[in-house]
């Protein structure tokens, strides 16, 4: 499975998998106008293809603003990694395949470890779940 977006056909099933099984989920916050993000998308697809046990969600902070709200992004790409609704990691990452892959692998092994983050980041799982339910209707 590759990287999904809130408008992709796989979205509802994958978000359900995230919550039903507390699957590790990586949310990448980017923007369509960002050249770094555009280049990073292919890298993230390779990382996701190599890790089918992890859900990868791409959120465009402008196109998906109904979900992202007013998250203040310092730089791109910014990653939020969850297990179920528990935030395990939140921060800017270097857009280098090896660096991001190692970070994701290490964080995904952690059983717990809620980190502090803006409330909008902590609320992302709930907003994504509501979005999935809305698509099911």
| pLDDT of residue 43 exceeding 80 | yes
Q: CA 50 to CA 48: how far, in whole Å? A: 5
| pLDDT of residue 137 exceeding 50 | no
14, 20 Cβ separation under 8 angstroms: no
27, 80 Cβ separation under 8 angstroms: yes
**Domain ranges (residues) in the chain:** 3-136
From residue 75, alpha-carbon distances to 29, 100, 104, 136 in Å are 9, 15, 18, 33
pTM: 0.88
From residue 39, alpha-carbon distances to 9, 81, 115, 125, 136 in Å are 23, 21, 28, 26, 32
81, 108 Cβ separation under 8 angstroms: yes
| pLDDT of residue 5 exceeding 90 | no
* Options 2.40.50.140, 3.40.50.2300, 3.40.30.10, 1.10.3080.10; CATH of 3-136: 3.40.30.10
User: 126 falls in which pLDDT band (50, 70, 90)?
Assistant: confident
Q: Averaged over 95-119, what is the pLDDT? A: 88
Most confident of the ranges 20-24, 99-103, 128-132: 99-103
Based on its alpha-carbon atoms, the radius of gyration of the chain, rounded to whole angstroms, reads 13
Q: Which residue has the higher pLDDT, 59 or 130?
A: 59
User: 21 falls in which pLDDT band (50, 70, 90)?
Assistant: low
- Which pLDDT tens digit goes with each residue over 71-88? 989 899 999 999 888 899
């Amino acid at each position: 499975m590759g990287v999904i977006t809130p408008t992709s056909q796989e979205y509802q099933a994958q978000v359900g998998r995230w919550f039903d099984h507390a699957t590790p989920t990586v949310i990448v916050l980017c923007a369509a106008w960002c050249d770094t993000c555009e280049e990073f998308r292919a890298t993230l697809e390779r990382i996701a293809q190599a890790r089918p046990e992890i859900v990868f969600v791409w959120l465009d902070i402008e196109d998906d603003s109904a979900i992202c709200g007013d998250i203040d992004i310092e730089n791109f790409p910014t990653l939020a990694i969850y297990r179920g609704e528990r935030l395990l990691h939140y921060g800017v990452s270097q857009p280098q395949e090896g660096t991001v892959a190692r970070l994701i692998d290490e964080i995904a092994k952690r059983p717990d470890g809620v980190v502090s983050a803006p409330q909008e980041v902590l609320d992302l799982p709930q907003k994504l779940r509501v979005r999935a339910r809305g698509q099911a209707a």
